[in-house]
Structure 1
Amino acid sequence: MAKKLEGKTAVITGGTEGIGLATAKLFVEEGAYVFITGRRQKELDEAVKAIGIDVYGVQGDVAQLADLDRLYETVSKTKGRIDIVFANAGVGEFVPLGAVTEEHFDKLFNINVRGALFTVQKALPLLNDGGSIILNGSVASVKGTAAFGVYAASKAAIRSFVRTWTTDLKDRHIRSNVVSPGPIDTPLASRQSADVIARIVSTIPMGRMGKPEEVAKVALFLASDDSSFVTGIELFVDGGRAQV
Protein backbone atom coordinates (compact mmCIF):
# COMPACT_ATOMS: atom_id res chain seq x y z
CA MET A 1 0.00 0.00 0.00
CA ALA A 2 1.30 3.44 -0.90
CA LYS A 3 1.91 5.67 2.09
CA LYS A 4 -0.31 8.75 2.18
CA LEU A 5 2.43 11.25 3.06
CA GLU A 6 5.37 9.68 1.24
CA GLY A 7 8.18 12.22 0.88
CA LYS A 8 6.26 15.00 2.68
CA THR A 9 7.59 17.22 5.45
CA ALA A 10 5.32 18.28 8.32
CA VAL A 11 5.57 20.68 11.26
CA ILE A 12 3.47 19.87 14.33
CA THR A 13 3.47 22.30 17.25
CA GLY A 14 2.75 20.88 20.69
CA GLY A 15 3.88 17.45 19.57
CA THR A 16 5.02 16.05 22.90
CA GLU A 17 1.78 14.46 24.14
CA GLY A 18 -1.86 13.78 23.36
CA ILE A 19 -3.16 14.64 19.90
CA GLY A 20 0.10 16.20 18.69
CA LEU A 21 2.18 13.14 19.54
CA ALA A 22 -0.38 10.69 18.12
CA THR A 23 -0.50 12.71 14.89
CA ALA A 24 3.30 12.90 14.62
CA LYS A 25 3.54 9.11 14.99
CA LEU A 26 0.88 8.51 12.34
CA PHE A 27 2.40 11.01 9.89
CA VAL A 28 5.79 9.28 10.19
CA GLU A 29 4.13 5.87 9.66
CA GLU A 30 2.58 7.30 6.50
CA GLY A 31 5.96 8.38 5.12
CA ALA A 32 6.40 11.95 6.37
CA TYR A 33 9.40 13.58 8.02
CA VAL A 34 8.08 15.47 11.05
CA PHE A 35 9.32 18.42 13.10
CA ILE A 36 7.67 18.63 16.52
CA THR A 37 7.83 21.41 19.08
CA GLY A 38 7.32 21.48 22.82
CA ARG A 39 8.12 23.88 25.61
CA ARG A 40 9.88 21.37 27.86
CA GLN A 41 13.08 19.75 26.61
CA LYS A 42 12.66 16.54 28.65
CA GLU A 43 9.17 15.80 27.29
CA LEU A 44 10.36 16.76 23.80
CA ASP A 45 13.26 14.29 23.98
CA GLU A 46 10.90 11.55 25.18
CA ALA A 47 8.47 12.23 22.32
CA VAL A 48 11.26 12.13 19.72
CA LYS A 49 12.36 8.79 21.17
CA ALA A 50 8.78 7.45 21.11
CA ILE A 51 8.37 8.42 17.44
CA GLY A 52 11.73 6.87 16.65
CA ILE A 53 12.61 7.82 13.08
CA ASP A 54 12.14 10.73 10.66
CA VAL A 55 11.55 13.20 13.48
CA TYR A 56 13.29 16.33 14.72
CA GLY A 57 12.40 17.99 18.04
CA VAL A 58 12.73 21.78 18.37
CA GLN A 59 12.22 23.24 21.84
CA GLY A 60 10.04 26.34 21.84
CA ASP A 61 6.87 28.18 22.82
CA VAL A 62 4.47 29.23 20.03
CA ALA A 63 3.62 32.38 21.99
CA GLN A 64 7.26 33.52 21.56
CA LEU A 65 7.89 34.71 18.02
CA ALA A 66 11.65 34.28 18.39
CA ASP A 67 11.04 30.58 19.14
CA LEU A 68 8.99 30.27 15.94
CA ASP A 69 11.76 31.95 13.95
CA ARG A 70 14.23 29.44 15.41
CA LEU A 71 11.89 26.56 14.53
CA TYR A 72 11.68 27.57 10.88
CA GLU A 73 15.41 28.31 10.66
CA THR A 74 15.95 24.71 11.78
CA VAL A 75 13.38 23.40 9.29
CA SER A 76 14.94 25.45 6.51
CA LYS A 77 18.45 24.16 7.22
CA THR A 78 17.35 20.54 7.72
CA LYS A 79 14.73 20.02 5.02
CA GLY A 80 14.32 23.31 3.17
CA ARG A 81 10.59 22.99 2.45
CA ILE A 82 7.35 22.06 4.23
CA ASP A 83 4.17 20.44 2.92
CA ILE A 84 2.02 20.33 6.07
CA VAL A 85 1.65 22.62 9.09
CA PHE A 86 -0.43 21.37 12.01
CA ALA A 87 -0.77 24.23 14.49
CA ASN A 88 -1.78 21.98 17.34
CA ALA A 89 -0.27 23.66 20.41
CA GLY A 90 -2.99 24.93 22.71
CA VAL A 91 -4.00 25.43 26.29
CA GLY A 92 -7.35 25.38 28.09
CA GLU A 93 -8.46 26.57 31.51
CA PHE A 94 -11.85 26.94 33.18
CA VAL A 95 -12.55 30.41 34.59
CA PRO A 96 -16.08 31.83 35.01
CA LEU A 97 -16.82 35.21 33.44
CA GLY A 98 -16.71 37.14 36.72
CA ALA A 99 -13.25 35.81 37.53
CA VAL A 100 -11.50 36.26 34.16
CA THR A 101 -8.17 38.03 34.58
CA GLU A 102 -5.91 39.73 32.07
CA GLU A 103 -3.37 36.97 32.68
CA HIS A 104 -5.92 34.24 31.87
CA PHE A 105 -7.05 36.01 28.71
CA ASP A 106 -3.53 36.80 27.52
CA LYS A 107 -2.26 33.27 28.17
CA LEU A 108 -5.04 31.59 26.17
CA PHE A 109 -5.09 34.08 23.30
CA ASN A 110 -1.30 34.28 23.05
CA ILE A 111 -0.94 30.52 22.73
CA ASN A 112 -4.17 29.51 20.98
CA VAL A 113 -4.72 32.44 18.61
CA ARG A 114 -1.53 34.47 18.25
CA GLY A 115 0.53 31.28 18.37
CA ALA A 116 -1.51 29.61 15.62
CA LEU A 117 -1.46 32.73 13.44
CA PHE A 118 2.30 33.21 13.55
CA THR A 119 3.03 29.46 13.36
CA VAL A 120 1.30 29.56 9.98
CA GLN A 121 2.46 32.99 8.81
CA LYS A 122 6.12 32.20 9.46
CA ALA A 123 5.75 28.85 7.67
CA LEU A 124 4.50 30.44 4.44
CA PRO A 125 7.90 31.14 2.84
CA LEU A 126 8.82 27.45 3.30
CA LEU A 127 5.39 25.99 2.53
CA ASN A 128 5.07 24.36 -0.86
CA ASP A 129 2.23 25.42 -3.13
CA GLY A 130 -0.52 22.84 -2.77
CA GLY A 131 0.36 22.38 0.91
CA SER A 132 -2.01 21.79 3.81
CA ILE A 133 -2.56 23.93 6.90
CA ILE A 134 -4.44 22.32 9.80
CA LEU A 135 -5.45 24.08 13.00
CA ASN A 136 -6.57 22.28 16.14
CA GLY A 137 -9.95 23.64 17.16
CA SER A 138 -12.47 22.40 19.71
CA VAL A 139 -16.16 21.67 20.12
CA ALA A 140 -15.95 24.39 22.80
CA SER A 141 -16.05 26.96 20.00
CA VAL A 142 -19.70 26.14 19.29
CA LYS A 143 -20.86 25.02 22.76
CA GLY A 144 -21.64 27.29 25.68
CA THR A 145 -19.70 25.26 28.23
CA ALA A 146 -19.83 27.01 31.62
CA ALA A 147 -16.67 28.88 32.67
CA PHE A 148 -14.95 28.01 29.39
CA GLY A 149 -15.62 31.27 27.60
CA VAL A 150 -12.13 32.57 26.88
CA TYR A 151 -10.96 29.19 25.62
CA ALA A 152 -14.11 28.84 23.47
CA ALA A 153 -13.58 32.30 21.98
CA SER A 154 -9.95 31.49 21.17
CA LYS A 155 -11.06 28.40 19.26
CA ALA A 156 -13.80 30.34 17.45
CA ALA A 157 -11.08 32.76 16.32
CA ILE A 158 -9.00 30.03 14.70
CA ARG A 159 -12.14 28.70 13.00
CA SER A 160 -12.44 32.15 11.46
CA PHE A 161 -8.77 32.18 10.41
CA VAL A 162 -9.07 29.18 8.08
CA ARG A 163 -11.94 30.79 6.20
CA THR A 164 -9.86 33.87 5.49
CA TRP A 165 -6.70 31.91 4.71
CA THR A 166 -8.62 29.75 2.24
CA THR A 167 -9.20 32.97 0.28
CA ASP A 168 -5.77 34.50 0.97
CA LEU A 169 -3.89 31.40 -0.19
CA LYS A 170 -6.13 30.22 -3.01
CA ASP A 171 -3.65 31.22 -5.73
CA ARG A 172 -1.06 28.98 -4.09
CA HIS A 173 -3.56 26.09 -3.82
CA ILE A 174 -2.80 25.83 -0.09
CA ARG A 175 -5.69 24.33 1.83
CA SER A 176 -6.56 25.46 5.37
CA ASN A 177 -8.84 23.45 7.65
CA VAL A 178 -9.71 22.99 11.32
CA VAL A 179 -9.94 19.64 13.07
CA SER A 180 -12.15 20.10 16.13
CA PRO A 181 -11.92 17.40 18.78
CA GLY A 182 -14.51 16.77 21.42
CA PRO A 183 -13.40 15.41 24.79
CA ILE A 184 -10.31 13.29 24.13
CA ASP A 185 -8.51 10.99 26.55
CA THR A 186 -5.22 12.89 26.73
CA PRO A 187 -2.84 13.52 29.65
CA LEU A 188 -4.54 16.92 29.98
CA ALA A 189 -7.96 15.26 30.40
CA SER A 190 -6.75 12.48 32.69
CA ARG A 191 -5.67 15.08 35.25
CA GLN A 192 -9.38 15.78 35.88
CA SER A 193 -11.31 14.05 38.67
CA ALA A 194 -13.48 10.98 38.01
CA ASP A 195 -16.62 13.10 38.62
CA VAL A 196 -15.58 15.65 36.02
CA ILE A 197 -14.80 12.91 33.49
CA ALA A 198 -18.16 11.21 34.12
CA ARG A 199 -19.93 14.53 33.60
CA ILE A 200 -18.06 15.11 30.33
CA VAL A 201 -18.83 11.60 29.04
CA SER A 202 -22.54 12.13 29.80
CA THR A 203 -22.55 14.93 27.17
CA ILE A 204 -21.18 12.72 24.37
CA PRO A 205 -23.76 10.81 22.31
CA MET A 206 -21.26 8.01 21.67
CA GLY A 207 -20.90 7.61 25.43
CA ARG A 208 -17.11 7.69 25.67
CA MET A 209 -14.10 9.95 25.33
CA GLY A 210 -12.24 9.93 22.03
CA LYS A 211 -8.69 8.67 21.63
CA PRO A 212 -5.83 10.87 20.38
CA GLU A 213 -5.32 8.36 17.53
CA GLU A 214 -8.89 9.00 16.35
CA VAL A 215 -8.11 12.70 15.94
CA ALA A 216 -4.76 11.89 14.31
CA LYS A 217 -6.53 9.90 11.57
CA VAL A 218 -8.66 12.92 10.71
CA ALA A 219 -5.59 15.17 10.71
CA LEU A 220 -4.03 12.66 8.28
CA PHE A 221 -7.08 12.96 6.02
CA LEU A 222 -6.77 16.77 6.01
CA ALA A 223 -3.00 16.59 5.45
CA SER A 224 -3.15 14.15 2.55
CA ASP A 225 -4.47 14.19 -1.01
CA ASP A 226 -7.54 12.32 0.26
CA SER A 227 -8.92 15.78 1.07
CA SER A 228 -7.72 17.47 -2.15
CA PHE A 229 -11.05 19.34 -2.62
CA VAL A 230 -11.57 20.15 1.07
CA THR A 231 -10.69 23.62 2.35
CA GLY A 232 -12.06 26.16 4.80
CA ILE A 233 -13.90 23.56 6.85
CA GLU A 234 -14.17 22.61 10.50
CA LEU A 235 -14.25 18.83 10.85
CA PHE A 236 -15.55 17.68 14.22
CA VAL A 237 -14.13 14.56 15.84
CA ASP A 238 -16.38 14.63 18.84
CA GLY A 239 -18.57 11.54 19.14
CA GLY A 240 -21.52 13.80 18.31
CA ARG A 241 -20.92 16.23 21.19
CA ALA A 242 -21.38 19.42 19.15
CA GLN A 243 -23.85 17.96 16.67
CA VAL A 244 -26.97 16.99 18.60
Structure 2
Amino acid sequence: MPQQLQGKVALVTGGNSGLGLATAKRFVAEGAYVFITGRRQAELDAAVKEIGSNVTAVQSDASKLADLDRLFATIKEQKVRLDVVFANAGTAAFAPLGEITEEHFDTLFNLNVKGLLFTVQKALPLMSDGGSIVLNASLVSIKGFPAFSVYSATKAAVRSFARGWAVDLKPRRIRVNVVSPGTVVTPGYKNSLKLTDEQIRGMEASTAEAAPSGRAGTPEEIANVVLFLASDESSFVNGVELFADGGQGQI
Protein backbone atom coordinates (compact mmCIF):
# COMPACT_ATOMS: atom_id res chain seq x y z
CA MET A 1 0.00 0.00 0.00
CA PRO A 2 1.47 3.42 -0.95
CA GLN A 3 2.61 5.63 1.91
CA GLN A 4 0.30 8.60 2.36
CA LEU A 5 3.06 11.21 2.78
CA GLN A 6 5.74 9.70 0.56
CA GLY A 7 8.34 12.34 -0.28
CA LYS A 8 6.63 15.09 1.72
CA VAL A 9 8.38 17.49 4.10
CA ALA A 10 6.45 18.23 7.29
CA LEU A 11 6.74 20.41 10.37
CA VAL A 12 5.25 19.37 13.72
CA THR A 13 5.55 22.04 16.38
CA GLY A 14 5.56 20.68 19.90
CA GLY A 15 6.71 17.39 18.42
CA ASN A 16 8.80 16.41 21.41
CA SER A 17 5.99 14.70 23.36
CA GLY A 18 2.30 13.82 23.46
CA LEU A 19 0.15 14.37 20.39
CA GLY A 20 2.99 16.02 18.49
CA LEU A 21 5.39 13.13 19.01
CA ALA A 22 2.75 10.55 18.06
CA THR A 23 1.98 12.53 14.90
CA ALA A 24 5.63 12.96 13.96
CA LYS A 25 6.16 9.21 14.30
CA ARG A 26 3.13 8.52 12.12
CA PHE A 27 4.23 11.03 9.49
CA VAL A 28 7.67 9.40 9.24
CA ALA A 29 6.06 5.95 9.02
CA GLU A 30 4.02 7.29 6.09
CA GLY A 31 7.10 8.45 4.16
CA ALA A 32 7.59 12.06 5.28
CA TYR A 33 10.70 13.85 6.43
CA VAL A 34 9.71 15.66 9.63
CA PHE A 35 11.01 18.66 11.52
CA ILE A 36 9.94 18.75 15.16
CA THR A 37 10.19 21.56 17.68
CA GLY A 38 10.01 21.91 21.43
CA ARG A 39 11.29 24.16 24.17
CA ARG A 40 13.31 21.53 26.04
CA GLN A 41 16.36 20.13 24.29
CA ALA A 42 16.53 16.93 26.36
CA GLU A 43 12.99 15.98 25.34
CA LEU A 44 13.75 16.79 21.71
CA ASP A 45 16.80 14.54 21.79
CA ALA A 46 14.73 11.71 23.28
CA ALA A 47 12.02 12.22 20.65
CA VAL A 48 14.53 12.04 17.79
CA LYS A 49 15.85 8.78 19.21
CA GLU A 50 12.33 7.39 19.50
CA ILE A 51 11.36 8.42 15.95
CA GLY A 52 14.57 6.95 14.64
CA SER A 53 15.09 8.39 11.16
CA ASN A 54 14.02 11.12 8.72
CA VAL A 55 13.68 13.69 11.50
CA THR A 56 15.38 16.91 12.53
CA ALA A 57 14.76 18.57 15.89
CA VAL A 58 15.00 22.34 16.29
CA GLN A 59 14.80 23.84 19.77
CA SER A 60 12.17 26.56 19.42
CA ASP A 61 9.57 28.41 21.46
CA ALA A 62 6.64 29.20 19.16
CA SER A 63 5.79 32.32 21.15
CA LYS A 64 9.20 33.86 20.28
CA LEU A 65 9.40 35.18 16.75
CA ALA A 66 13.19 35.02 16.65
CA ASP A 67 12.99 31.31 17.41
CA LEU A 68 10.52 30.88 14.55
CA ASP A 69 12.83 32.73 12.17
CA ARG A 70 15.67 30.40 13.13
CA LEU A 71 13.40 27.37 12.70
CA PHE A 72 12.34 28.27 9.16
CA ALA A 73 15.85 29.24 8.17
CA THR A 74 16.92 25.73 9.19
CA ILE A 75 14.11 24.11 7.19
CA LYS A 76 14.92 26.24 4.14
CA GLU A 77 18.59 25.34 4.35
CA GLN A 78 18.02 21.62 4.77
CA LYS A 79 14.93 20.86 2.70
CA VAL A 80 14.01 24.09 0.82
CA ARG A 81 10.25 23.54 1.14
CA LEU A 82 7.38 22.41 3.36
CA ASP A 83 4.34 20.40 2.27
CA VAL A 84 2.62 19.91 5.63
CA VAL A 85 2.45 21.98 8.82
CA PHE A 86 0.89 20.65 12.02
CA ALA A 87 0.72 23.71 14.30
CA ASN A 88 0.44 21.77 17.53
CA ALA A 89 2.55 23.62 20.12
CA GLY A 90 0.48 24.98 22.97
CA THR A 91 -0.02 25.11 26.68
CA ALA A 92 -2.87 25.01 29.19
CA ALA A 93 -3.50 26.19 32.72
CA PHE A 94 -6.44 26.53 35.10
CA ALA A 95 -7.73 29.85 36.43
CA PRO A 96 -11.36 30.54 37.39
CA LEU A 97 -12.95 33.90 36.62
CA GLY A 98 -12.03 36.22 39.47
CA GLU A 99 -8.53 34.77 39.71
CA ILE A 100 -7.33 35.28 36.13
CA THR A 101 -4.07 37.22 36.04
CA GLU A 102 -2.45 39.16 33.23
CA GLU A 103 0.39 36.62 33.26
CA HIS A 104 -2.06 33.72 32.86
CA PHE A 105 -3.77 35.44 29.93
CA ASP A 106 -0.54 36.45 28.22
CA THR A 107 1.10 33.02 28.61
CA LEU A 108 -1.80 31.19 26.98
CA PHE A 109 -2.51 33.69 24.21
CA ASN A 110 1.16 34.26 23.39
CA LEU A 111 1.77 30.58 22.67
CA ASN A 112 -1.63 29.20 21.65
CA VAL A 113 -2.74 32.13 19.47
CA LYS A 114 0.16 34.45 18.62
CA GLY A 115 2.64 31.60 18.33
CA LEU A 116 0.35 29.54 16.14
CA LEU A 117 -0.46 32.51 13.90
CA PHE A 118 3.16 33.41 13.26
CA THR A 119 4.19 29.78 12.87
CA VAL A 120 1.78 29.48 9.96
CA GLN A 121 2.53 32.91 8.50
CA LYS A 122 6.29 32.40 8.58
CA ALA A 123 5.87 28.93 7.05
CA LEU A 124 4.03 30.26 3.99
CA PRO A 125 7.08 31.24 1.91
CA LEU A 126 8.27 27.63 2.15
CA MET A 127 4.87 26.00 1.65
CA SER A 128 4.21 24.11 -1.57
CA ASP A 129 1.09 25.11 -3.47
CA GLY A 130 -1.53 22.47 -2.71
CA GLY A 131 -0.05 21.82 0.73
CA SER A 132 -1.89 21.17 3.97
CA ILE A 133 -1.98 23.04 7.28
CA VAL A 134 -3.51 21.39 10.34
CA LEU A 135 -4.17 23.42 13.48
CA ASN A 136 -4.55 21.82 16.90
CA ALA A 137 -7.54 23.15 18.86
CA SER A 138 -9.65 21.33 21.44
CA LEU A 139 -13.08 20.13 22.47
CA VAL A 140 -13.08 23.01 24.99
CA SER A 141 -13.65 25.48 22.14
CA ILE A 142 -17.34 24.49 22.16
CA LYS A 143 -17.95 23.30 25.74
CA GLY A 144 -17.59 25.01 29.10
CA PHE A 145 -15.32 23.56 31.78
CA PRO A 146 -14.51 25.08 35.20
CA ALA A 147 -11.49 27.39 35.39
CA PHE A 148 -10.70 26.87 31.70
CA SER A 149 -12.19 29.98 30.09
CA VAL A 150 -8.95 31.58 28.86
CA TYR A 151 -7.60 28.33 27.45
CA SER A 152 -10.97 27.69 25.80
CA ALA A 153 -10.88 31.15 24.24
CA THR A 154 -7.47 30.48 22.71
CA LYS A 155 -8.77 27.33 21.09
CA ALA A 156 -11.87 29.11 19.78
CA ALA A 157 -9.50 31.60 18.15
CA VAL A 158 -7.61 28.74 16.49
CA ARG A 159 -10.81 27.42 14.99
CA SER A 160 -11.66 30.91 13.68
CA PHE A 161 -8.22 31.23 12.08
CA ALA A 162 -8.90 28.16 9.92
CA ARG A 163 -11.98 29.70 8.35
CA GLY A 164 -10.21 32.90 7.41
CA TRP A 165 -6.97 31.28 6.29
CA ALA A 166 -8.73 28.73 4.08
CA VAL A 167 -10.10 31.70 2.14
CA ASP A 168 -6.80 33.64 2.18
CA LEU A 169 -4.91 30.64 0.81
CA LYS A 170 -7.42 29.65 -1.86
CA PRO A 171 -5.20 30.98 -4.71
CA ARG A 172 -2.43 28.62 -3.60
CA ARG A 173 -4.75 25.64 -3.00
CA ILE A 174 -3.35 25.26 0.53
CA ARG A 175 -5.93 23.62 2.77
CA VAL A 176 -6.35 24.66 6.42
CA ASN A 177 -8.18 22.37 8.82
CA VAL A 178 -8.50 21.92 12.57
CA VAL A 179 -8.28 18.82 14.73
CA SER A 180 -10.01 19.18 18.10
CA PRO A 181 -9.15 16.38 20.52
CA GLY A 182 -11.16 15.47 23.56
CA THR A 183 -9.57 13.95 26.65
CA VAL A 184 -6.25 12.40 25.67
CA VAL A 185 -3.75 11.98 28.50
CA THR A 186 -0.32 13.36 27.58
CA PRO A 187 2.67 14.64 29.59
CA GLY A 188 1.07 18.08 29.44
CA TYR A 189 -1.49 17.01 32.02
CA LYS A 190 1.32 16.98 34.56
CA ASN A 191 3.75 19.52 33.06
CA SER A 192 1.26 22.29 32.24
CA LEU A 193 -1.91 21.50 34.18
CA LYS A 194 -0.01 20.19 37.23
CA LEU A 195 -2.49 17.36 37.74
CA THR A 196 -1.76 14.45 40.05
CA ASP A 197 -2.12 10.83 38.96
CA GLU A 198 -5.34 10.63 40.97
CA GLN A 199 -6.76 13.72 39.28
CA ILE A 200 -5.86 12.35 35.84
CA ARG A 201 -7.60 9.06 36.64
CA GLY A 202 -10.64 11.05 37.74
CA MET A 203 -10.66 12.99 34.48
CA GLU A 204 -10.44 9.76 32.49
CA ALA A 205 -13.32 8.29 34.53
CA SER A 206 -15.53 11.34 33.95
CA THR A 207 -14.75 11.21 30.23
CA ALA A 208 -15.65 7.52 30.12
CA GLU A 209 -19.01 8.38 31.66
CA ALA A 210 -19.70 11.40 29.43
CA ALA A 211 -18.44 10.25 26.02
CA PRO A 212 -20.31 7.75 23.81
CA SER A 213 -16.97 6.02 23.25
CA GLY A 214 -16.87 5.15 26.94
CA ARG A 215 -13.20 6.08 27.29
CA ALA A 216 -10.52 8.70 26.77
CA GLY A 217 -8.50 8.74 23.56
CA THR A 218 -4.87 7.99 22.80
CA PRO A 219 -2.22 10.16 21.14
CA GLU A 220 -2.01 7.62 18.30
CA GLU A 221 -5.73 8.04 17.57
CA ILE A 222 -5.30 11.80 17.24
CA ALA A 223 -2.24 11.24 15.02
CA ASN A 224 -4.43 9.16 12.69
CA VAL A 225 -6.83 12.10 12.30
CA VAL A 226 -4.00 14.57 11.69
CA LEU A 227 -2.55 12.24 9.06
CA PHE A 228 -5.90 12.15 7.27
CA LEU A 229 -6.13 15.96 7.23
CA ALA A 230 -2.50 16.29 6.14
CA SER A 231 -2.70 13.78 3.30
CA ASP A 232 -4.38 13.77 -0.10
CA GLU A 233 -6.99 11.43 1.38
CA SER A 234 -8.71 14.62 2.59
CA SER A 235 -8.18 16.59 -0.64
CA PHE A 236 -11.78 17.93 -0.63
CA VAL A 237 -11.77 18.81 3.08
CA ASN A 238 -11.00 22.46 3.83
CA GLY A 239 -11.79 24.88 6.65
CA VAL A 240 -13.35 22.23 8.88
CA GLU A 241 -12.99 21.40 12.56
CA LEU A 242 -12.77 17.64 12.99
CA PHE A 243 -13.55 16.53 16.53
CA ALA A 244 -11.59 13.50 17.74
CA ASP A 245 -13.31 13.31 21.09
CA GLY A 246 -15.14 9.98 21.27
CA GLY A 247 -18.37 11.89 20.66
CA GLN A 248 -18.18 13.87 23.90
CA GLY A 249 -18.72 17.22 22.22
CA GLN A 250 -21.51 15.98 19.97
CA ILE A 251 -24.13 14.99 22.55
Partner in structure 2 of residue 228 of structure 1: 235
Q: Which digits, 9 at most, give the CA deviation of each residue in 1:56-106, with x for residues without a partner?
A: 000010000000000000000000000001000011111101100000000
Comparing 193-202 with 82-91, greater Cα deviation is found at 193-202
Name the residue aligned to 1:185.
Answer: 185
Instruction: Find the aligned partners of 1:169 and 1:118 in 2 and give their Cα distance.
Output: 15
Report the CA distance between 1:199 and its aligned residue. 2.9
Q: What SS does the aligned partner of 2:129 have?
A: strand
Does residue 207 of the first structure (1) align with residue 207 of the second (2)?
A: no
Assess, with a 3 A threshold, how the Cα gap between structure 1 residues 189 and 201 changes in structure 2: closer, same or farther.
Answer: farther
For 1:116 and 1:89, the matched residues in 2 are separated by 7
The answer to whether the 8 A contact 2:16-2:44 is kept is yes
Q: Secondary structure at the match of 1:121?
A: helix
Structure 1 partner of 2:130: 130
Percent same amino acid among aligned pairs? 61
Equivalent position amino acid for 2:221 in 1: E
What corresponds to 1:96 in structure 2?
A: 96
* Greater displacement, 104-113 / 200-209: 200-209
Residues 10-39 of structure 1: CA distance to partner in whole angstroms, max 9, x if unpaired?
000000111000000000000000000000
Report what 1:58 is aligned to. 58
Shift of 1:204: 2.0
Give the equivalent residue in structure 2 for 1:24: 24
Stretches of structure 2 lacking an aligned partner (at least 5 in a row): none
CA distance in 1, matches of 2:84, 2:242: 17
Amino acid at match of 2:118: F
* Residue 195 of structure 1: how far off its partner (Å): 3.0
Once residues 94 and 211 of structure 2 are traced to their aligned partners in structure 1, the CA distance between those partners, rounded to angstroms, is: 19
Q: CA deviation at 1:146?
A: 1.3
Deviations 1:112-147 (A, max 9, x none): 000110000000000000000000010000001111
Q: Which amino acid aligns with 2:224?
A: K
Matched AA of 2:12: I
The alignment partner of 2:89 has SS state of coil
Q: Cα offset for 1:205?
A: 2.2
Which stretch shifts more, 78-87 or 189-198?
A: 189-198
Hey, what's the Cα distance between the residues in 1 that align with 2:202 and 2:175?
A: 40
For residues 119 and 188 of structure 2, the distance between their equivalents in structure 1, rounded to whole angstroms, comes to: 22
Provide the residue aligned with 2:109 in structure 1: 109
Using structure 2 for the length normalisation, give the TM-score.
0.95
State the number of aligned residues: 244
Specify the alignment match of 2:149 in structure 1: 149
After superposing on structure 2, the runs of 4+ consecutive aligned residues of structure 1 that deviate more than 6 Å are none
Shift of 1:201: 3.3
**TM-score (structure 1 length as normaliser):** 0.98
8 Å CA contact retained: 2:204, 2:215: no
The one-letter amino acid paired with 1:233 is V
Residues 160-215 of structure 1 deviation map (CA, whole Å, 9 limit, x = unaligned): 00000010000000000000000002122364423344234332221211000000
For the residue of structure 2 that corresponds to 1:122, the secondary structure is: helix
Q: Is the 8 A contact 2:207 2:214 kept in 1?
A: no
CA RMSD of aligned residues (A): 1.0
Partner of 1:239: 246
Partner residue in 2 for 1:9: 9
